[in-house]
Amino acid sequence: MTRLYPSHRLVQASNGWHQHFNHSRITQEQFINLTTEGNSTIPFPIVCHKLHNFQSAGFFYGDNPLSHSFSLVIFNFAFISIITRFIGVLLKPLKQPFIISQILGGIIVGPSLLGRSIWYQRHMTSDSAQFLMNNLGVMGFMFFAFMYGVKADPFILKRIGKLHICTALVGIIIPTGIVFIVALSMRKNMDEDLAKFTSIGAIAGYLGITAFPVLYHILTEFNLLNSDVGKVALSTAVISDMIGLVLVLLFEAAFQEVKIIKILWYFICIVLMTVFLLFCVRPAMIWINNNTPEGQPVQESFIVAILLGTFVMGFLGDFFGISVVKGSLFLGLAIPDGPRVGATLEKKTAAILVDFLLPFSFILVGSYTDIYAMTASGWSTISPLFIMVIIGYFLKFFSTWITLHLLGMPFRDGLTLSLIMSLRGLVELILFVHWIQKSILKVPGFSILVLMTLVLTSAFCPLISILYDPTKPYMVNQRRNMQHHPPNTELRIMLCIFDTDVIHGLIHLLDISNPTQDFPFSVSALRLTELLGRANPLFIDHEKQKVPPSYQWYNTIHVLERHQQLQGAFMKLHFFTAVTPKNTMFRDICELAIEQEASLIILPFNLDVVHNHAVKEVNSQVLRNSPCSVAIFVDKGFLNTNNTLGNFRQTKHRFAVFFLGGGDSREALVYADRMLAHHDVSLTVIRFLSHNFIGYNEIEKKLDDGIVTWFWVKNEINQRMVYREVMVKNGEETIGAIQAMNDGAFDLLIVGRKQGINPILLTGLSEWTESEELGLIGDYVSSADFFGSASVLVVQQQILRG
């Protein structure tokens, strides 16, 4: 079977237009003469291509798989995926975001590199395969815009302030206005399409707008999403996006061949689509969201219907001339963000979008990026666009920086935020593809915009990493721990709640910590929820803000408030909710600890390894960055009885402290001393000393002796306290001594984590640990192999970092 059609690609060069064919598939070729606008005549090829079956019969049957469209699509998908991942690994030490690797992968398989090869054109590409890949690439753009719409929170505009509004407006108006004026002065040097007012306005507007999805993905990749600078950048970008969307719609309307009737129909279609989404689709989505049980995924049938609706809205957007991407974006904006519908859609589409569709999107971008066409067109052709871009980027950066400086932002933070607001990414690439399809740009102009995007983002991202350290605010030089806490003053504690199932054990821990009239507690309970189905992190003070229904935890708050009533004036409770990515939860914890001037952070530790993997990482990050002391509570069940509030004080409990020396052990002993004041607690303190006192740091040894002496003098006549000393030669003897004194009747074991421990006491134990955040001894006594059901409290004293 054969097909007759013009199958050429024209690339402008200095000496005319070069024609590119896939000669291996041409069975017949004829030429007709065409007259161009300049009255010159060029031969126009009409070629006859042989059509193969869609799938290959197999290599061993003498059929070349790469001569079939389906095989070529599969090959190109695998090829660009491998190239992209490989480049990503190479560039990761250079602090480059993954978007850089994706753009480079597209350029490599495009006409700028491999596509330049005649052999590659003949054997690795075909017109039908390229057609399929281009359409899959457009689908990638469509789903990217849809998921952005799902995650977007338009109501964030209610929470923005003067800083965000001024930064957004100045960062848009100054570069857009000046670039537009400069472009008008160069119109005579531009080609006809680019010289139009609508084209100049579109490019000038793009240079002033900062796209929210671009910042979201880069900030997420660099773990800056819930940093101070990241929060300001996202809020500012939302304003920028709203303005940008209006400008795009106005540009599209102005592009309707300047006919009023077409402009009118364009806006009528937008209004009809908006009304349908607001009054039909959104109520249905809210109903699905409200009728999905908490913690359960949305029904599969609803998700399938929503994803099919993405294609429908893409078709309607294309049908009405609004564009495929904007149609799916509008549908995404109609879907509630957050848990349930938003989170389920994110989980279901993440792999399809990132791993399957977006590689084709970058193949599409790479197919339009031709460095040789750009250089062949000459400097006079591309210079107006190049000058516009350079001026726009320069003004965007400096106008943002100066505005932030005038508004009082610190120098380094302002510089970092200006760099972030100047970043470019996938949204801009979607815009470039749209422009080249609308004939605003030609291949040389498209290529220069892609390369400028690549250079700008790759240059600014490492600078952001160098300039901004989000953990620096946690480096305090004031003592915030229990050992140095002033007597007869309020002790401020942070209680972190990842899973509400552990709340009973945490309440009992607070109870045995013994708040009294002389030593009252102020407890800040922070509920941590993973950020899913939305883009903006949330941090909510329950006394100042209303908690969205999707993030309520009424039952847990009710239990804590009942316990507070029993404690009376001895305990005050404050409630907070943080919705943030798991890998940056520690920042919300540390920031709240600084704000509340906490002396102790209590973290739960779940022994269920599958459930606890992410929580373990959060705990490790908190231990590394905490501005105060930290206690990790491993609840094995004793403190998690059903009787939460009533009979706890009616029975006595045996606690033990394993004192191995160092700051952590001293902090653990002070905490245990506070518990010992509780009349239902008996305490055994075991101090481990090395044989002949080998291996001690002299200063640490004196500090240990001092705290132990203080504890002994204070509790010498207390019949509920037992103190022992054990001499050991190595880690094996340390474990043996612990096993010897363990009769299985202890209810809580308290140990220091690792800071300042004499290494002789732990010799030979380094290979035994499974949970590094618990320390060697804490990990051992928490394991299932340790006899008894005692819960464990691992304490780390504040590390001064200022």
Indicate the pLDDT class of residue 193, thresholds 50, 70 and 90. Answer: confident
Domain boundary among 441, 467, 493: 467
pLDDT computed for residue 342 by the predictor:
87
User: Please, is 61 exposed, middle or buried when counting C-beta atoms within 10 Å of its C-beta (0-12, 13-18, 19+)?
Assistant: exposed
Bigger pLDDT: 67 or 411?
411
pLDDT at 40 over 90: no
Average pLDDT over every residue of 603-629: 80
* SS3 category, 48: strand
Task: Tell me the HSE value of 695 on the side-chain side, using a 13 A CA sphere.
Answer: 18
Alpha helices, DSSP H only, in 192-323?
A: 197-208, 212-221, 228-254, 260-276, 282-290, 300-319
Indicate the pLDDT class of residue 169, thresholds 50, 70 and 90. Answer: very high
Which DSSP state fits 723? E
- Across all residues in the chain, what is the average pLDDT? 85
- Annotate 304-335 with DSSP letters as a single string: HHHHHHHHHHHHHHHHTTS-HHHHHHHHHHTS
Do 611 and 537 reside in the same domain of the chain? yes
- The residues, any chain, with a CB within 8 Å of residue 102's CB and separated by 6 or more, are 84, 358, 359, 362
Q: What share of the chain is helix, strand, coil (3-state, %, to 5)?
A: 60, 15, 30
pLDDT at 7 over 50: no
Indicate the pLDDT class of residue 44, thresholds 50, 70 and 90. Answer: low
The two structure tokens encoding residue 183: 């472009």
- Domain CATH number, residue 491: 3.40.50.620
pLDDT tens profile 231-267: 999 999 999 988 888 887 777 777 655 567 777 888 8
CB 532 within 8 A of CB 343: yes
Do 238 and 324 reside in the same domain of the chain? yes
* SS3 category, 371: helix
What amino acid is encoded at 399 in this protein? Answer: S
Indicate the pLDDT class of residue 745, thresholds 50, 70 and 90. Answer: confident
Do 617 and 679 reside in the same domain of the chain? no
- The residues, any chain, with a CB within 8 Å of residue 451's CB and separated by 6 or more, are 369, 371, 374
pLDDT at 50 over 60: no
pLDDT computed for residue 633 by the predictor:
94
Average pLDDT over every residue of 99-114: 94
Average pLDDT over every residue of 556-568: 85
Average pLDDT over every residue of 368-374: 92
Indicate the pLDDT class of residue 459, thresholds 50, 70 and 90. Answer: very high
Q: Which helix (H) or strand (E) holds 629?
A: strand 629-634
CB 338 within 8 A of CB 332: no
pLDDT at 3 over 60: no
- The residues, any chain, with a CB within 8 Å of residue 453's CB and separated by 6 or more, are 103, 424, 425, 428, 429
Do 396 and 463 reside in the same domain of the chain? yes
Nearest to 388 by CA among 460, 454, 458, 445: 445
Question: How far apart (Å, rounded) are the C-alpha atoms in residues 668 and 796?
Answer: 8
In a domain, 127, yes or no: no
pLDDT computed for residue 6 by the predictor:
41
Question: How far apart (Å, rounded) are the C-alpha atoms in residues 291 and 237?
Answer: 33
pLDDT at 610 over 50: no
Average pLDDT over every residue of 462-488: 85
Do 511 and 437 reside in the same domain of the chain? no
- The residues, any chain, with a CB within 8 Å of residue 445's CB and separated by 6 or more, are 194, 382, 385
Range(s) of the domain holding residue 20: 1-51
In a domain, 579, yes or no: yes
Question: How far apart (Å, rounded) are the C-alpha atoms in residues 242 and 226?
Answer: 22
The alpha carbon torsion through 72, 77, 81, 83 (nearest 10 deg) reads: 30
Indicate the pLDDT class of residue 97, thresholds 50, 70 and 90. Answer: very high
In a domain, 121, yes or no: no
pLDDT computed for residue 645 by the predictor:
40
For 285-306, letters b (16+ CB in 10 Å) and e give beebbeebeeeebbeeebbeeb
In a domain, 155, yes or no: yes
Do 222 and 355 reside in the same domain of the chain? yes
Indicate the pLDDT class of residue 119, thresholds 50, 70 and 90. Answer: confident
The two structure tokens encoding residue 354: 């990132």
Do 630 and 737 reside in the same domain of the chain? no
In a domain, 775, yes or no: yes
Nearest to 681 by CA among 719, 712, 635, 645: 719
- Domain CATH number, residue 452: 1.20.1530.20
Cβ neighbour number for residue 15 with a 10 Å cutoff: 7
> CA angle 619-624-630, nearest 5°?
60
pLDDT at 667 over 80: yes
Q: What percent of the chain is predicted at pLDDT more than 90?
A: 49
In a domain, 401, yes or no: yes
Do 683 and 773 reside in the same domain of the chain? yes
Nearest to 582 by CA among 605, 622, 614, 539: 614
CB 103 within 8 A of CB 450: yes
Q: What percent of the chain is predicted at pLDDT more than 70?
A: 88
Selection from 165-179, 349-363, 608-622 with the highest mean pLDDT: 165-179
In a domain, 647, yes or no: no
Do 431 and 548 reside in the same domain of the chain? no
- The residues, any chain, with a CB within 8 Å of residue 484's CB and separated by 6 or more, are none
CB 600 within 8 A of CB 493: yes
Crossing angle (nearest 10°) for helices 379-406 and 197-208 = 40
Q: What are phi and psi of 438, to 5 degrees?
A: -90, 5
CB 45 within 8 A of CB 6: yes
Task: Tell me the HSE value of 305 on the side-chain side, using a 13 A CA sphere.
Answer: 11
The two structure tokens encoding residue 140: 């990638």
Give CA separation, 713 vs 654, 660, 709, in Å.
21, 19, 6
Domain count within the chain: 4
CB 667 within 8 A of CB 481: yes
Indicate the pLDDT class of residue 787, thresholds 50, 70 and 90. Answer: confident
Domain boundary among 434, 467, 500: 467
Q: Which of 388-402, 448-462, 573-587, 765-779 has the lowest mean pLDDT?
A: 765-779
Do 698 and 789 reside in the same domain of the chain? yes
pLDDT computed for residue 118 by the predictor:
87
Do 569 and 430 reside in the same domain of the chain? no
What amino acid is encoded at 147 in this protein? Answer: M
pLDDT at 15 over 50: no
Question: How far apart (Å, rounded) are the C-alpha atoms in residues 131 and 22?
Answer: 14
Domain boundary among 635, 664, 679: 635
Crossing angle (nearest 10°) for helices 300-319 and 127-151 = 110
Do 520 and 499 reside in the same domain of the chain? yes
* SS3 category, 600: strand
Bigger pLDDT: 394 or 320?
394
In a domain, 361, yes or no: yes
pLDDT computed for residue 389 by the predictor:
95
pLDDT at 731 over 80: yes
What amino acid is encoded at 73 in this protein? Answer: V
Nearest to 89 by CA among 77, 101, 73, 103: 101
pLDDT at 647 over 70: no
